[in-house]
Amino acid sequence: MKSFVWKYFTKINKTSAECKLESCNHKRISINGGSTKGLIWHLKLIHEIINDEAENSTEPCAKKQKIIEDFIKFPSINETISRLICVDNLNFHQIANSEYLRKSLLKDFGENIPKNSSGIQKRFILFYDIVKQNVITKISQIKQNGVKFSGTIDEWTSGANRRYVNINIHFVNQSQTNHINLGLFRMEGSWPAQKLNENFERFLNTFSIDAKNDIIGVTGDGASVMVKFGDLSNFFYQKCYNHAIHLSVCDIIFKENSEFNQVFRKAIIEDSNENIDDESEFEDESKNENEEDDLNDDSDADLFNSHMNIITKMRAVVKMFRRSPLKNDILQRIVKRQYNKELMLILDCSTRWNSVFESGKRFLKIIDCIILALNHKDIKKPEMWNDFDTNLLEQLLKVLEPIKLASEALSSNSNNLLIAEGTINFLLDELQLQENAFSSLFYNSLLRRISERRNDLLVHLLLYLKDGNQLASDKHFKSFSKSSIQKYGIELLQKYFKNISLDHNLDVSHDQITYNLEISLAEKLKQSVAEYSMVQSSNDITPNNFKKEFQLYERTKIRSPLLEQLYQSLMTIQPTSTQCERNFSVSNNVLSRNRRKMNDKTLSSICFLKSFFNEN
């Protein structure tokens, strides 16, 4: 559209135009770059002429050309504030008091942010409410497809001595396993299992989830109140496998008078007997045989008390170097000559068994340097460690290595009961293959603890639905007949799926996990997991009743839509409650000393949105 100014101006060249009005005496105005802005202002200020034709013009305006920003969805100011809090870990005061952030947000959004922390908090909660409503809508859409959820639950005590419960839901959507962190709710006063169950149902209702009909299983720890909570509920309660591993290892290596100490004591006695001087063969034959060959109980105890168990000995050496700058300097000079860098000894934590593995691994890596340092003229403590101790520590770490690998595999986000079954069988098989002083101890302890938590019939039902053939006798756990498994499956269908009509096909995903491990044990673990996680695809078959579902499956080895729905729902049940532990770690970082008075809703909102931003 041609500008109205050219009725009053004549273009002289590319840089100027001449006014046609006589009162201007042919004045020239600059039009650099073709802009008519100067001409418009000249008419308005000098001649009091404005564009009165623009409003009456019927000529269409030229289409504005789109740029790349037009295709990008930019976050709102409330979302930006929420990301600063949840992703960048800024608190409300820092955002409210930052002049740089204030100017930047004003420039980007044309809006001033509040100058006080309570105003920032309100904007944060507003965004949380929007995201929560979107999550509720998503959950409702998933429920319409007949999908069942499983949950993970755990309790946490904050630095302000407040107790909270975290809940996550897990589900299969479009052939992928997903989870949603629902946040925290506060436990005030005494919380018996009945009260926990009521509040659990009430909390899920705020997300449009019916605990009695929509939840098929919940995973938590083995605390008595949690176990009773599971007994009172309408769903499976799966005790955490990682807690079983933790308890079984701690039972052996940290408890006083444990079997671990007895094995260590026996090893010391055998080592001492092997080193008895040859002169004992020529002692007086008239001595009593019992006096020659046996050590009485008192001498055994004295011998053991004169030696510490291997972990205590390692810890004593580590503490000596870590607490003395002089001795540590001596050690690090030796280490630097060999490795061209310093390698500090790691002190283990008595409440985290895997720290023993890391501590021992570093200890053995620089063991030659440690021996040299202990024999240094300024230390002179060679008796603190010897080759026998090194051999025992190597045996212990050889046992702990597959346990650590299995624990990390069980903590994967993509886990399920079948992957866990492969992981556990790998671990128990590996311990059975090892022949050293400690492997049988750990095997028996792990088998006992895991058996307390494993739902044998549920696992065998999943194995049966996986391919229909895996009914061989269990190597480590109780086995069941095919009829018992089918009967159990019918009970589950009657309990959870009697009101569901399936008129759609379900895709089956292949459960896959990948671990960046560096030894052959990792490959064994991967193979074991693969055997238990490969699944068959389903067909659109709809038998008339639950018994015929299994009869047809027995003939075809193909899951009908109803059995597929049961299988997929059971596969969402988590073997561990590790996801809750991750969320508690996040919450603990949020509640610093200066933020311990944060109200419960704000803390839950931060925990919820941190997970939301990580997933999106």
Task: Identify the band that residue 534 occupies on the pLDDT scale cut at 50, 70 and 90.
Answer: low
Residue pLDDT, tens place only, 52-85: 554 445 555 556 666 665 566 668 899 999 999 9
If pLDDT is split at 50, 70 and 90, which confidence band does 250 have? confident
pLDDT band at 586 (very low <50, low <70, confident <90, very high): confident
pLDDT tens-digit map of 591-610: 776 677 788 999 999 999 99
Instruction: Provide the CA 209 distance to its chain's centre, in angstroms.
Output: 23
pLDDT band at 538 (very low <50, low <70, confident <90, very high): very low
Evaluate if residue 1 carries a pLDDT over 70.
no
pLDDT at residue number 518: 44
Q: What are the sequence ranges of the domains in the chain?
A: 4-46, 129-216+577-615, 241-272+296-450
**Percent of the chain with pLDDT strictly greater than 90:** 43
State yes or no: pLDDT of 544 exceeds 60.
no
Categorize the per-residue pLDDT at 520 as very low, low, confident or very high, splitting at 50, 70 and 90: low
pLDDT band at 118 (very low <50, low <70, confident <90, very high): very high
Predicted confidence at residue 277, as pLDDT, reads 44
Q: What is the mean pLDDT of residues 391-409?
A: 93
Q: Can you tell me the distance from the alpha carbon of 573 to that of 559, in angstroms, rounded to the nearest whole number?
A: 19
The string of pLDDT tens digits covering residues 287-339 is 443 443 443 444 333 333 333 478 889 999 999 999 999 999 999 999 999 99
Reported as a single tens digit per residue, the pLDDT across 174-183 is: 777 889 999 9
User: Cα 519 vs. chain centroid, distance in angstroms?
Assistant: 23
Kindly report the average pLDDT of the chain as a whole number.
81
Q: What is the mean pLDDT of residues 485-504?
A: 76
pLDDT score at 254: 77
Q: Which residue has the higher pLDDT, 564 or 291?
A: 564
**3 state DSSP class of 294:** coil
* Residue-level pLDDT at 67: 66
Within 8 A by CB and 6+ apart from 426, the residues are 402, 406, 524, 525, 528, 529
Could you tell me which of 481, 495, 489, 614 has the C-alpha nearest to residue 564? 489
Selection from 154-168, 251-265, 328-342 with the highest mean pLDDT: 328-342
Number of H helices, E strands in the chain: 25, 8
318-332, 407-421, 491-505, range with the lowest pLDDT = 491-505
Structure tokens given for 410: 């069980």
> Per-residue confidence at 43, pLDDT binned at 50, 70, 90?
confident
With cut-offs at 50, 70 and 90, classify the pLDDT of residue 344.
very high
Range of lowest pLDDT (31-40, 315-324, 425-434): 31-40
Per-residue pLDDT reduced to its tens digit, 88-101: 989 899 999 999 99
Note every long-range contact of 526-532, with CB atoms under 8 Å and residues 24 or more positions apart, other chains counting: 528/422, 528/423, 528/425, 528/426, 528/429, 529/409, 529/419, 529/422, 529/423, 529/426, 530/422, 531/422, 532/418, 532/419, 532/421, 532/422, 532/425, 532/463, 532/466
pLDDT at 541 over 50: no
Q: How confident is the model at residue 214 (pLDDT cuts 50, 70, 90)?
A: very high
Check whether 570 has a pLDDT greater than 90. Answer: yes
Does 282 have pLDDT greater than 50? no
What's the whole-number mean pLDDT along residues 436-463? 91
Q: Nearest 5°: phi and psi at 537?
A: -80, 165
